[in-house]
Amino acid sequence: MTEGNFVDYVKIYAASGKGGKGSSHLHREKFIEKGGPDGGDGGRGGHVIIRGNKNLWTLFHLKFLRHVKAGHGGDGGSSRSTGADGEDKFVEVPLGTVVKDKETGEVLFEITDDGETKILAKGGKGGLGNWHFRSSTNQTPRYAQPGIPGEEVDIILELKVLADVGLVGFPNAGKSTLLSVLTSAKPKIADYPFTTLKPNLGIVAYRDFQSFVIADIPGIIEGAAEGKGLGHYFLRHIERNSTLLFLIPADTEDIKKEYEILIDELRRYNPEMLDKDKLIVISKCDMLDDELQAEMKAELDVAFKGLNYMFISSVAQQGLTELKDKLWKMLNS
């Protein structure tokens, strides 16, 4: 899927159908001049329903959908016949979609399971026919209820990528390169910052035909929590990951400081992210000889006391098997 086809933010206006009006019909038949009221009820207006679909990975199919309108309920008829219900409209969304009120920003609900349905706008109830209003003192009511109008809502659909592992790092840290060697994904790779503008997903094949999903998130910069760079557009995709892989290049001036900046941005965006399992990976270790790597390891043992870290090289294919083993263990512990 190309970058332009990854859509994770859509605005939609949804309107449910109004209920049909009840009938005020009076029964007429040969030899029965005054048969009394027999007006049927109006049908229910159609709902607008959000439904989860595991085969969708993006909101691209909704990119040009501005309005969703359900059908109106049919009017009641004679012989107490009820009007037809309005046609329901289903909006299919990928798993991990959050539905928000456009005006208030309030989260209405989230879709996380395949086939899960939530009514976004309820159809109006049909009006009662005059059959319901007959009584001993009013045997021929010539009135019936009108249908109840439908609901109108302006919503925002936001996709938060569902992946087991999220790659976190500064621009140009080598996240896309790592994704390309661990999975069959083909992310855009270049030597300039923000090569990746949209999240890329890849499936890592593990032993015994097992697998897990890894997501390459666009690079974080200082101030991202306030919206700098690509800001909230990518930070929200990390919320769903159960494990965070912090990727820091070996040629970084201060590895510990870079890690602390990344952690601080996540904390300022959502403190709950710090409760996730974390693994620090020092990339591009093919640039280090054994002596330099041993020296760096001694420093990092002190700097990252109690934290998991390891060295890899995506280009030289060093440490990748150990990385898969480590991630699988963290995901299944």
| Binding residue positions for Mg(2+) | 176, 196
CA distance 144 to 76: 10
For tokens 């309108």, what's the residue? 69
Binding-site positions for GTP read: 169-176, 194-198, 216-219, 283-286, 313-315
Q: Strand 67-69: give its sheet, edge to edge.
A: 67-69, 9-15, 152-159, 97-101, 107-111
Beta-bridge mates of residue 281: 247, 310
CB 163 within 8 A of CB 213: yes
Per the CB < 8 A criterion, the answer to whether 80 and 51 are in contact is no
Q: What is the DSSP string of 153-217?
A: EEEEEEE----SEEEE--TTSSHHHHHHHHSS------SSTT---S-EEEEEE-GGG-EEEEEEP
Residue 3 bridge partners (DSSP):
none
CB atoms within 10 A of CB 133: 18
Binding-site residue ranges: 169-176, 194-198, 216-219, 283-286, 313-315
From residue 205, alpha-carbon distances to 138, 214, 281, 319 in Å are 75, 11, 19, 16
- Strand extents, DSSP E, the chain: 9-15, 48-52, 67-69, 89-93, 97-101, 107-111, 117-121, 152-159, 165-168, 200-205, 211-216, 243-249, 277-283, 309-311
